[in-house]
Amino acid sequence: MSIVGKVRVGMAGGGSGFFGAPHRRAIIMDNTAELTAGALRLDPAESLLTAERLYFKRGYRDAKSMHAIEATLPLDERINYTTVVTPNNSHFPIAQDALNNGFGVLCEKPLTTNLADSQALVASVERTNLPFVSAYTYTGYPMVKLAREMVLNGDIGDVRKVQTWYPQGWLADAKDVWRVDPKIAGPSGCGGDIGTHAYEFIRYVTGLSATEVSAKLTSFVDDRKLDDDFEARAVLSNGAIATISASQVTIGSQNDNGFRIIGKTGTLEWSNTDHQTLKLYRPGKEVQVFRLGVEYNYFPERLKPYLRLPSGHPEGFHEALANHHRDMESMLRGQSHYHYPGVHDGAAGIAFIEACLESNLKGGASIPVAAVENPDYSTYK
């Protein structure tokens, strides 16, 4: 697929609430893409009104009609991909429908609410060869990409242990939101919502995956049907061990996610609270602090497209999210791109959560994690 002019983006969901707005800003950040078509609300009439209010070129009643009608338009007018920002239970049908109509997909996490649906998406992507990005936002940070470079380059030696964390406190008391409703959120609350982000740090930065897990999922709030706290211990594919901790009842914590990768010769540490720095610890040496900025030569050329400003000019969350749309755009334009989280990473997140749910039911027993291959999607070799 090669595109002349701006990339044309469709959006399903996100017409109200939280995460549609950050995606819209991320899509247009570099002025290389436009908001072309939207089916932005669950209610069809609201969907049409919201698309008009948000200046989408074309509004639709629902995602299915958006895909069906866009697919009949000339190639240089129809959307190139759909951004799926609906609550979890509709990711699968919408993403599958987009692929079936010939559109790429940038899909929110958790990819689906069960592994069978995730595997069906993997099969569709492999059959159609369409680009698919799983929106694990934090892997879009340049410092997280630099951490991957350093681990794969052997800068900390063989990985022995990984610690990842994602505490929040906003569900410490009862709230009537879809994230605590299993019919919409899926079978895990905290685990699916943010434990998947913490797990993806392991896959993205180290290239390793969990082969077995032991987990404890807790619902601290009375009558809550889903976990609001999630603790897992995993064995990784190289024999290393990992702890994955997520919580929505940790009062005081907001989005303090991060990781520590502990290797044979050093430790790398990154935190969302200080996301423009990456720290490297080596025995007997001063901590080495890498800072964000296009002029720093420790960023290899292949990472430069993911940085936008010289040092001292803060970049942040929107830029990280924009980097996922940038990867989608690079694929559509046939340009080089770095390793991004693809459909396999989305599916691996669900395989991990399903194993954790089973382990929890069995009192923390060690449970094998269904293997999802971890291809290197990078076109830089």
- Secondary structure (DSSP) of 149-209: HHHHTTTT-SEEEEEEEEE--TTSS----GGG-HHHH-S-SHIIIIIHHHHHHHHHHH---
Q: Which of 19, 170, 220, 281 binds ligand NAD (CB under 6 A)?
A: 19
Instruction: Tell me phi and psi for residue 260, to 5 degrees.
Output: -130, 125
Q: Which of 2, 4, 5, 18 binds ligand NAD (CB under 6 A)?
A: 18
Collapsing DSSP to helix, strand or coil, 348 comes out as helix
Residue number, 90 or 360, with CB nearest to ligand NAD: 90
Q: In the stretch 41-60, what mask flags binding to ligand NAD with x, by CB under 6 A? A: xx------------------
Stretch that binds ligand NAD, among 85-93, 265-273, 275-283, 345-353 (CB under 6 A): 85-93
Q: Which two tokens stand for residue 91?
A: 């990711």
Collapsing DSSP to helix, strand or coil, 332 comes out as helix
- Contact call for residue 210 and ligand NAD (CB under 6 A): no
Residue number, 193 or 345, with CB nearest to ligand NAD: 193
Least Å distance, CB 91 to ligand NAD, is 6
Residue number, 10 or 266, with CB nearest to ligand NAD: 10
Stretch that binds ligand NAD, among 15-23, 25-33, 273-281, 335-343 (CB under 6 A): 15-23
Strand order in the sheet with 267-271: 288-291, 277-281, 267-271, 258-263, 159-167, 241-247, 229-236, 210-218, 367-368
Stretch that binds ligand NAD, among 10-18, 121-129, 161-169, 259-267 (CB under 6 A): 10-18
Residues in the chain, total: 381
Q: Report which of 342, 298, 296 is spatially closest to residue 150, judged by C-alpha positions.
A: 298
Q: In the stretch 92-131, what mask flags binding to ligand NAD with x, by CB under 6 A? A: ----------------xx----------------------
**Cβ neighbours around 299 below 10 Å, total:** 20
* CA 274/CA 271 separation, integer angstroms: 5
Q: Which residue ranges make up the site for ligand NAD (CB under 6 A)?
A: 12-20, 39-42, 62-63, 85-88, 90, 108-109, 135, 137, 178, 193
